């Protein structure tokens, strides 16, 4: 029997606060990825930092319930990161956030543990670009650049990536192919562009593969992109047929849209939102996790 692939997700977490419903859900790109990859059959672990508050305990409890290894998660002083979300016609709209202690650099033990995994997943929201060479030396790197399509930023990370993913809603097919091609030309082995209602495309040495969206009456689209990326990564690591793994990813993403929150586990919202920042403020003021040369 073939051993399951093993994926470590390193970086961001939040509780997604649905202010109009007074509910919060565990989330964040890397937390979601660890859960969705586990549901897709991988063995997964998550390293990130939360606080000893209701939000942090919710994140930990949900990961434990999903059988994600949290043995190297950290507990820091302060307030667990949060994001405030509103829903409009089943789609999610980000209102503001506070990243709290969630931006962390890997410790020596984290890096040593990486050798036990087939891949490490991180994201633009985790701010660990300086560490990608160290990650890539120990495992295949999956990276989600989300809506960042700037060629210079793509070039800066692509050479370290086994899989480089983008959110490309609103892009034409040719624009999405060109974006994936930029990632490939700069060294990524595979590039995935999710295109919302237009489906997704995957570009690699084996060629270009596309899949239409699986139509559903969406309750909440939060987490659908993370579902797609996690399922594609698991399939690529298993060396599944690209058409088959894309179809499986589309089906899993459709199922995610049928539940509130990214992957469930709602709790009464108990987050102080008075220090909420706009997304523009966050991206203009957040400092990346220190590199090993700066520690």
40-69 mean pLDDT: 98
Q: How far is CA 248 from CA 112, 188, 262, in A?
A: 32, 22, 18
Cβ atoms 147, 283 nearer than 8 A:
no
The verdict on residue 285 lying in a domain is: no
Question: Looking at the 3D structure of the chain, how many domains does it have?
Answer: 1
Cβ atoms 191, 165 nearer than 8 A:
yes
Instruction: Provide the domain limits for residue 213.
Output: 6-280
Task: Look at residue 168 and tell me whether its pLDDT is greater than 60.
Answer: yes
Query: Helix (H) and strand (E) counts for the chain?
Result: 9, 15
For residue 151, the 8-state DSSP code is H
The verdict on residue 264 lying in a domain is: yes
C-alpha 112: how far from chain center? 22
Closest by CA position to 191, among listed 180, 205, 201: 180
Task: Look at residue 293 and tell me whether its pLDDT is greater than 60.
Answer: no
Could you tell me whether strands 119-123 and 91-98 are parallel, antiparallel, or unpaired per DSSP bridges? unpaired
The model's pLDDT over 248-259, given as tens digits with 9 standing for 90+, comes to 999 999 999 999
Closest by CA position to 229, among listed 15, 42, 4, 3: 42
- What average pLDDT does the chain have? 94
For the chain, state the CA radius of gyration.
Answer: 18
C-alpha 198: how far from chain center? 20
The verdict on residue 259 lying in a domain is: yes
Angle at 208 between CA 205 and CA 211, to 5 degrees: 135
Closest by CA position to 249, among listed 33, 7, 27: 33
Report pLDDT for 1: 58
**If pLDDT is split at 50, 70 and 90, which confidence band does 294 have?**
very low
The verdict on residue 292 lying in a domain is: no
Can you tell me the distance from the alpha carbon of 282 to that of 285, in angstroms, rounded to the nearest whole number? 5
The verdict on residue 39 lying in a domain is: yes
Task: Look at residue 91 and tell me whether its pLDDT is greater than 70.
Answer: no
The verdict on residue 160 lying in a domain is: yes
**If pLDDT is split at 50, 70 and 90, which confidence band does 295 have?**
very low
Can you tell me the distance from the alpha carbon of 144 to that of 30, in angstroms, rounded to the nearest whole number? 9
| Least confident residue range of 41-45, 49-53, 90-94, 264-268 | 90-94
Cβ atoms 164, 158 nearer than 8 A:
yes
Residue by residue, DSSP assigns 18-62 as ETTTTEEEEE-HHHHHHHHHHHTT-EEEEE-EE-SSHHHHHHHHH
**If pLDDT is split at 50, 70 and 90, which confidence band does 279 have?**
confident
The verdict on residue 197 lying in a domain is: yes
Q: Which helix (H) or strand (E) holds 57?
A: helix 54-65
CATH of the domain at 108: 3.40.1190.20
- Helix spans in the chain (H): 29-39, 54-65, 108-114, 132-136, 151-158, 173-185, 224-237, 242-256, 279-285
Give me the residue label for tokens 């997700």. Answer: 9
The verdict on residue 289 lying in a domain is: no
User: Structure tokens of 8?
Assistant: 């470590």
């Amino acid at each position: 029997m073939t051993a399951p692939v093993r994926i470590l997700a390193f970086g961001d977490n939040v509780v997604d606060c649905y202010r109009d419903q007074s509910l919060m859900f565990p989330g964040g790109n890397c937390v979601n990825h660890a859960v969705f990859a586990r549901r897709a059959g991988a063995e997964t672990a998550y390293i990130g930092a939360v606080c000893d508050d209701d939000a942090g305990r919710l994140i930990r409890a949900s990961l434990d319930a999903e059988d994600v290894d949290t043995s190297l998660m950290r507990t820091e002083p302060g307030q667990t990161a949060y994001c405030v979300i509103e829903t409009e016609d089943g789609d999610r709209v980000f209102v503001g956030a506070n990243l709290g202690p969630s931006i962390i650099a890997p410790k020596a033990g984290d890096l040593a543990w990486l050798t036990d995994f087939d891949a490490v997943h991180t994201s633009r929201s985790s701010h660990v670009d300086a560490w990608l060479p160290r990650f890539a030396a120990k495992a295949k790197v999956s990276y989600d650049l989300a809506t960042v399509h700037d060629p210079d930023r793509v070039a800066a990370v692509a050479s370290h990536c086994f899989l480089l993913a983008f959110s490309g809603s609103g892009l034409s097919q040719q624009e999405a192919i060109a974006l994936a091609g930029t990632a490939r030309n700069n060294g990524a082995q595979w590039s995935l562009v999710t295109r919302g209602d237009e489906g997704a495309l995957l570009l690699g040495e084996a060629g270009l593969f596309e899949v239409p969206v699986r139509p559903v009456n969406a309750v909440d689209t939060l987490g659908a992109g993370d579902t797609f990326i996690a399922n594609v990564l698991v399939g690529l690591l298993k060396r599944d047929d690209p058409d088959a793994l894309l179809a499986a990813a589309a089906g899993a993403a459709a199922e995610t849209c049928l539940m509130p929150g990214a992957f469930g586990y709602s709790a009464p919202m108990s987050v102080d939102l008075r220090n909420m920042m706009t997304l523009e403020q966050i991206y203009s003021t957040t400092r990346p996790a220190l590199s090993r040369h700066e520690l």
